[in-house]
Homo-oligomer: A and B are copies of this chain.
Amino acid sequence: MQLPSRVQVTEVGPRDGLQSEPAFIPTERKVALIEALAAAGVPRIEATSFVHPRAVPQMADAEAVLASIRRRPGTRYTALVPNARGAERALAARADELNVVVSSTEAMSQANVRMSVAESIAACAAVVRLAEAAHVPVACAVTTCFGCPYEGPVAPQRVLDVVARLVDAGVAEITLADTIGVANPRQVEQLVQAVQARWPQLPLGLHFHDTRGLGLANVLAGLQNGVTRYDASVAGVGACPFAPGATGNITTEDLVYLLHELDITTGIDLAALLDAARLMREVVGHEVPSRLLRAGPRPVVPAQP
């Protein structure tokens, strides 16, 4: 089994995980969570989202979050931005990277950002121009790459067309996102190989939801095809509020457990990450999908018979 020796985990819990929590989570709790994740060695954390507070009230404190965290050297704090206005705010708040979301289907694009796919790509290009002037890289997540809740199956060629326009717009990285958790390992392999064949140098990431239990099997397919960047949400919280039937991202600690068991380096301390997961569970105040929080990592000291 050929696998990469090192993988970068991007933690999206503070943004993708928390955005659909109904009760507002105080800024200091969000900050504590981000700091616990950074302390565990998570190299990249999507800290917040500079969307309009009316669209996602949970992220109304984006500036305060980025201003309050003690920044750990070596950790990259990224922010989701929907448009140039959001990018200006994120740059002013000193986000290390910007993340833009573009849908691969028209219906999801309208539901998520109230723009056509072309308008959304143009908004992404505007973000890239602003960020370039500030020497901040822009990553782009392409949603519903493996299926859309409104349009059904999505042909790989549609995804490739969107990626081509994003590459032209100057995005630094592309993440293929399975927004509603319908991807399967063979489909992951096919889409990844198609993107790699056309853009061999493009830094590629994968973003899976564990809606139907295939999240980590899809990660395995990504690893076997050389993909070295994965999004995950600590404790497994979250779901896109605009994608019906969606559930949480894959769970960061379950992903890191898998990677470490496969002898893949992440730079993350799993015990410290489990502390962050317990904090997340406390912050949201409800049950979370995390398997590792329940089972614990593989026992170091064997139980006595």
Whether the pair A185, B1 counts as a contact (CB closer than 8 A) is yes
Whether the pair B184, A303 counts as a contact (CB closer than 8 A) is no
**A1-B221, A185-B1, A220-B220 known; A214+B258 contact, CB < 8 A:** yes
Most interface-central of A182, A187, A217 (chain B CB within 10 A): A217
Listed stretches A13-21, A117-125, A194-202, A287-295; interface member? A287-295
Listed stretches A32-40, A59-67, A145-153; interface member? A145-153
| Majority SS at the chain A contact face | loop
Whether the pair A298, B3 counts as a contact (CB closer than 8 A) is no
Closest chain B residue to A147, Cβ basis: B298
| Size range of the chain A interface in the assembly | 35 or more
Given the complex, which residues of B lie within 8 Å of A149, measured CB to CB? 299, 302-303
Query: Within the complex, what minimum Cβ distance (angstroms) separates A56 from chain B?
Result: 18
Is A93 on the interface with B (CB-CB < 8 A)? no
Query: Roughly how many angstroms separate A214 CA and B186 CA in the complex, as a whole number?
Result: 17
Is A53 on the interface with B (CB-CB < 8 A)? no
Interface string of A268-301 (1 = CB under 8 A from B): 0000000000000000000000011011111100
**A217-B216, A220-B217, A291-B212 known; A111+B305 contact, CB < 8 A:** yes
Copies in the complex: 2
Is A78 on the interface with B (CB-CB < 8 A)? no
Is A179 on the interface with B (CB-CB < 8 A)? no
Closest chain B residue to A263, Cβ basis: B186
Whether the pair A221, B220 counts as a contact (CB closer than 8 A) is yes
Given the complex, which residues of B lie within 8 Å of A292, measured CB to CB? 212-213
Listed stretches A43-51, A158-166, A244-252; interface member? A244-252
**A110-B305, A217-B220 known; A262+B185 contact, CB < 8 A:** yes
Given the complex, which residues of B lie within 8 Å of A262, measured CB to CB? 184-186
Is A231 on the interface with B (CB-CB < 8 A)? no
Given the complex, which residues of B lie within 8 Å of A211, measured CB to CB? 291, 295
Is A11 on the interface with B (CB-CB < 8 A)? no
